[in-house]
Amino acid sequence: MSERFSRGRRAAIVCAVLFFFAIIVGDLFKLQIVEGAKYDAVVSAVSSRTASIPSTRGEIVDSNGKKLVYNEPGVSVCFDAAYFPKEQKEQNEIILSLVKLFEKNKLEWNDKLPLILYKDGVIFKDDSEDLIDQMKSRKVLNLNKYTSAQECFDALVEEFELEEYSKNNARKIGSVLFEMKREEFSIGVPYVFATDVPEDIAAAVMEKSSFYKGVQVEFVPHREYTDGTIAPHILGMTGAITAERYAELKEKGYKMSDIVGISGIELAMEDYLKGTDGQKTVYTDSEGNRTEEITQPAKQGNTVVLTIDAGMQKVAQDALKQALEDYAGKEGNMVPNAGAVVVLSCKDSAVLACASYPTYDISTYTENAEKLNKAPAAPLWNRALMSAYATGSTAKPSVAIAALEEGIIDEKFTIYCSGHYTYLGQEFKCEQAHESAYVNVVNAIDESCNTFFLEVGRMLGIEKMNEYRNLLGLGAKTGCELKETTGILDSPEYRSSLGQEWLPGFTVQSAIGQAGNLWTPIQLANYVNTIANGGTRYRTHFVKSIKSADYSETVMENTGEVMCRTGISEETLDIVKRGMREVGVSGYCASYFRHLPVEVAAKTGTSQEYRIINGYSTKINNGFLIAFAPYDNPEIAIAAVGEGMYSGKFVAPVIAAIVEYYCGFTDDSPEIDPAGELIP
């Protein structure tokens, strides 16, 4: 028995030895065969360094998953500090040679130096205050803030040993060196000399690698747009990080060379879109050969799914442009074509479409930036969120709601309208032709009777009127992700803040949408949505959800946020909605909506403002229209404005086109190919 035990023990020992031997052989195989090249590089390396791998920015898609903003690989020419010459004159020669190569082939390179040379001197570039401050800063030229442009140029020449070059060449070389210093060019922070470089130019650079020391050709993704005309004001742009933003973001691992969102969704969703940079170790042997090992892969940014429907957005943009062009020149209109339209989901105030006109193509912004910035009609300005208007009679439903809720009037209450209304010696006109001189609240909304609302406003008082306007979100931000203006809810307190007195006449004027009230189109849309959906005011939002790059994870889901449950009674809202229905079915807008498959409830408005035209202060009209549809089961709420329009009914075709699209009642919706891209 002991002999069998002894044999078993010997066998166990042999097996153990063989097992450990197999492990050793396996490790040797892995080290020498599988990862041999890597470890050979490590062993033979003269030097090694760690470098970052830039992350790819996340995509932006519409509510149906159609790509709006995505990434395309492009060739960039970059400087690698580990191999770029340390001696200044050698740097200068490499840079000048690259500049001449690019200029010869009519290609752009990154030139942000805020100095312009003239025959008789040097001036600062317009709208470059941030770059000028950075140029003068301690880390670049270390100059005081009062230094002139000429003195900055002279300091640049001295700092980078450019005395032997012509002024033009010195400026070109200096512009690159300025940017390298501003971006803190170092082993971990490469400098991008040029992007979107043609392959033949990239090849020419690589062929002269012995001269272009430290100049590398890299494949770097860049932003592309399926259709640059779709929602440019919403999507926004990316650009170089400013010193101020860098100070805010450097703790999150940002570099001065990073590209960041500077407006729109690109800015608002920066934290989600950025992604996470990776790391690699670069080994260089004695012969200059390089081997890279990725130690931490870069992680692409998340995908932002918008609430915007690309098809509806295009319909809204096209219809707005057409309505403004059709009206141009009518009623003596001298105002450049301009306006906005916002469409919200009644369910949760998701923004389905948001258009501002004039507009632009975001994909060609860089080439047209100077022209766009100087255009008189301000195509870069987002009127839907940033323009606050006196909105005229669109304010009247809010007054009706307040009076009905406070029991000051009911549906049977009437006021006699003679066409004139006098209050404290001030005369007001009602220019509407009423079916009956005795007007109730439904008629007053339908026929936009000034007399009715002037008197009801007097009975209410400004405090009660504004109490309900506050509930409805007028004169307050709607809470969306993008920059929006607050507007003004005129009141005694507001006037006092300006050092003005609240006059009794302001109360009745406010009741008909005059006085000092200024509201934005998105506020108007959310206001009419609150009426349409039964009295709940939601936070407006452009982001539906955030998905991981591979869509395997939902990072954030926006189900809508209630900002206010107004408590306005169903009876009150039904009365007001019936008045608005009459406007769409048999009133001012009936001819525009009659062909639609659903009933549209609406309210027009017209206001006046003074604007400088051809050097003179000129009184103009602006037309407004708020609406919801279908009347019996509201699903979308809309607000539109046409600057210079005599009446809001002239933007009714915009509302009609949007409702047509929503109901699938049109063949004009944009075609989308199987890859999910809009076909121009």
- pLDDT above 70 coverage of the chain, percent: 89
Q: What is the pLDDT of residues 58-67, one digit of tens each?
A: 999 999 999 9
CA distance 562 to 572: 21
Which of these, 603, 204, 198, 541, lies nearest to 396 by C-alpha position?
A: 603
Predicted confidence band at 20 (pLDDT cuts at 50, 70, 90)? low
Which of these, 327, 364, 381, 356, lies nearest to 227 by C-alpha position?
A: 364
Query: Average pLDDT in the 259-278 region?
Result: 94
Average pLDDT score over the chain: 89
pLDDT for res 425: 86
Which of these, 581, 673, 556, lies nearest to 632 by C-alpha position?
A: 581
Beta bridge partner(s), residue 556: 546
pLDDT for res 668: 44
Query: Average pLDDT in the 286-302 region?
Result: 81
Q: What is the pLDDT of residues 495-523, one digit of tens each?
A: 999 999 999 999 999 999 999 999 999 99
pLDDT for res 284: 73
CA distance 519 to 159: 53
Residue 630 above 90 pLDDT? yes
Residue 428 above 60 pLDDT? yes
- Residue 465 phi, psi dihedral angles, 5° rounding: -60, -45
Taking the CA atoms of 217, 218, 219 and 224 in sequence, report the sign of the dihedral they define.
negative
Q: Which residue has the higher pLDDT, 175 or 53?
A: 175
Burial letters for 170-191: b for 16+ Cβ neighbours within 10 Å, e otherwise?
bbbbbbbbbbbbbbebeeebbb
- Residue 376 phi, psi dihedral angles, 5° rounding: -65, -30
Q: Are 248 and 240 in contact (CB under 8 A)?
A: no
CA distance 625 to 639: 6
Predicted confidence band at 26 (pLDDT cuts at 50, 70, 90)? low
DSSP sequence for 190-211: -EEEESS--HHHHHHHHHTTTT
CA distance 514 to 506: 8
Q: Write the single-letter amino acid at 581.
A: R
pTM for this predicted structure = 0.84
Q: Write the single-letter amino acid at 14.
A: V
Residue 618 above 60 pLDDT? yes
Q: Which residue has the higher pLDDT, 343 or 244?
A: 343
- Rounded to 10 degrees, the C-alpha dihedral 370/644/594/512 comes to 130
pLDDT for res 665: 64
pLDDT for res 335: 79
Taking the CA atoms of 353, 356, 357 and 358 in sequence, report the sign of the dihedral they define.
negative
Q: Which residue has the higher pLDDT, 293 or 321?
A: 321
Cβ of 322: how many Cβ atoms within 10 Å? 13
Q: Are 335 and 611 in contact (CB under 8 A)?
A: yes
DSSP alpha helices (H): ranges in 424-502?
441-447, 450-460, 462-471, 492-497
pLDDT for res 671: 42
Predicted confidence band at 611 (pLDDT cuts at 50, 70, 90)? confident
pLDDT for res 29: 53
